[in-house]
């Protein structure tokens, strides 16, 4: 493991993550970050799977809150975003060749957690696209004791576009050599969501302070951000969600949150999966948008309390 950069805003006095590079088996360089709780006894380790467009620094407040409860936190910049290697000559669009490639990144997280001798039990905390990657990883035997999902991408909210139409358009774009271009409706290639959307219209959070932090980070570290998703990402994501919907649910405790104002992922897909997961608990949070970990304090605290209780359950 080689040391990697980790950014902090000038007024941030919290302890930074220890960031380091790992290399996936296909040669891509990935950035991982570790927040160590310290103290004894340890309550275990959280493997934090972020969503599309995200980067380590965005989760520092969440990691510090978990550290205060005695958990180590290990997270990652997925391939194609953050400081991990991008997948096209144009670094801005969110792109992927195959969704299975994200499991290569998961393997490096597990290897790093083992090499660092991170305390057990290990738990999964996965948000949005990380929830899609996380469900696939659980099916593949991810060695965690329990799982918590925040607005997982088990389906995509296509709004007025039918699933088959969106998939067909994305597929055809790939066939004619345009799969690496940004798909309409996902944001432009050069856009950065917190900079290009107003706070009142944003789909992520009602918390003005958190929104302001995302804006400041996007201005300070533009190279960490990405724009809209490519046609290839859209087609591969839709196919992966469909594949996962056919799989049985893993045999471990699961907690999942769904905001009443969710507009990015499919609420029905979350409800369908929860209904097919024995012992799963669905928390429906009135007034919450997509980013429950960055919502207003009352909504965020309700989720954190439920999550910590879930991790503590034997």
Q: Convert the pLDDT of each residue in 81-126 to its tens digit.
A: 999 999 999 999 999 999 999 999 999 999 999 999 999 999 999 9
- pLDDT at residue 162 tops 90: no
126 φ/ψ angles, rounded to the nearest 5 degrees: -130, 135
Give the pLDDT score at 163. Answer: 55
Give the pLDDT score at 62. Answer: 98
Q: Residue 228, CB half-sphere, CA atoms under 13 Å: how many?
A: 18
- pLDDT at residue 165 tops 60: no
pLDDT level of residue 49 (50, 70, 90 thresholds): very high
- Look at the alpha carbons of 155, 161, 162, 163 in this order and tell me if their dihedral is positive or negative: negative
DSSP-derived secondary structure for 112-159? HHHHTTPPSSEEEEEETHHHHHHHHHHHTT---SEEEEES--SSB--T
- pLDDT at residue 251 tops 50: yes
Q: Are 149 and 47 in contact (CB under 8 A)?
A: no
Model pTM?
0.94
Give the pLDDT score at 172. Answer: 58
Number of domains in the chain: 1
- pLDDT at residue 258 tops 80: yes
Provide the CATH number for the domain around residue 87. Answer: 3.40.50.1820
User: Average model confidence (pLDDT) for the chain?
Assistant: 92
pLDDT level of residue 168 (50, 70, 90 thresholds): low
* % residues pLDDT > 70 (the chain): 91
pLDDT level of residue 280 (50, 70, 90 thresholds): very high
What is the rounded average pLDDT of the residues 37-41? Answer: 81
Strand ranges in 158-239 using DSSP code E only, listed in sequence order = none
Q: Are 81 and 53 in contact (CB under 8 A)?
A: yes
203 CB neighbour count, 10 Å cutoff: 15
Range(s) of the domain holding residue 92: 2-312
DSSP-derived secondary structure for 21-89? EEE-TTS-EEEEEEE---SSS--EEEEEE--TT--GGGGHHHHHHHHTTTEEEEEE--TTSTTSPPSSS
258 φ/ψ angles, rounded to the nearest 5 degrees: -145, 120
* % residues pLDDT > 90 (the chain): 85
pLDDT level of residue 313 (50, 70, 90 thresholds): confident
Residues 6+ apart with CB under 8 A from 140: 103, 106
Give the pLDDT score at 188. Answer: 62
- pLDDT at residue 174 tops 70: no
Q: Which of 63-77, 150-164, 204-218 shows the lowest per-residue confidence on average (mean pLDDT)? A: 150-164
Q: Convert the pLDDT of each residue in 125-139 to its tens digit.
A: 999 999 999 999 999
Minimal CA–CA distance to 9: which of 54, 61, 49?
61
Give the pLDDT score at 145. Answer: 97
Minimal CA–CA distance to 291: which of 192, 203, 185?
203
What is the rounded average pLDDT of the residues 187-200? Answer: 84
């Amino acid at each position: 493991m080689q040391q990697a950069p980790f950014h902090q805003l000038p007024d941030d006095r919290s302890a930074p993550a220890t960031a380091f590079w790992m290399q996936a088996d296909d040669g891509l360089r990935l950035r991982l970050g570790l927040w160590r709780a310290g103290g004894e006894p340890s309550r275990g380790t959280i493997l934090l799977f972020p969503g599309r467009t995200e980067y380590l620094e965005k989760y520092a407040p969440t990691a510090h809150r978990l550290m205060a409860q005695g958990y180590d936190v290990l997270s990652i910049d997925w391939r194609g975003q953050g400081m991990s290697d991008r997948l096209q000559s144009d670094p801005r669009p969110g792109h992927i060749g195959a969704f299975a490639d994200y499991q290569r990144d998961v393997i490096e997280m597990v290897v790093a957690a083992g090499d660092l001798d991170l305390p057990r039990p290990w738990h999964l905390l996965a948000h949005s696209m990380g929830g899609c990657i996380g469900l696939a990883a659980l099916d593949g035997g991810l060695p965690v004791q329990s799982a918590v999902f925040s607005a997982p991408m088990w389906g995509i909210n296509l709004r007025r576009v039918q699933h088959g139409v969106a998939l067909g358009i994305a597929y055809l774009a790939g066939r004619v050599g345009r799969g690496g271009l940004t798909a309409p409706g996902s944001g432009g290639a050069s856009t950065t969501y917190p900079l290009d959307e107003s706070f009142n219209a944003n789909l992520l959070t009602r918390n003005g302070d958190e929104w302001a932090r995302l804006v400041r980070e996007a201005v300070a570290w533009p190279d960490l951000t990405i724009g809209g998703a490519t046609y290839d990402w859209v087609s591969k994501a839709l196919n992966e969600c469909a594949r996962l919907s056919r799989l049985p649910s893993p045999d471990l405790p699961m907690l999942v949150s769904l905001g009443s104002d969710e507009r990015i992922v499919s609420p029905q897909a979350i409800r369908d999966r929860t209904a097919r997961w024995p012992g799963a608990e669905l928390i429906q949070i009135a007034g919450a948008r997509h980013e429950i970990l960055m919502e207003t304090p009352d909504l965020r605290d309700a989720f954190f309390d439920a999550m910590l209780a879930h991790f503590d359950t034997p």
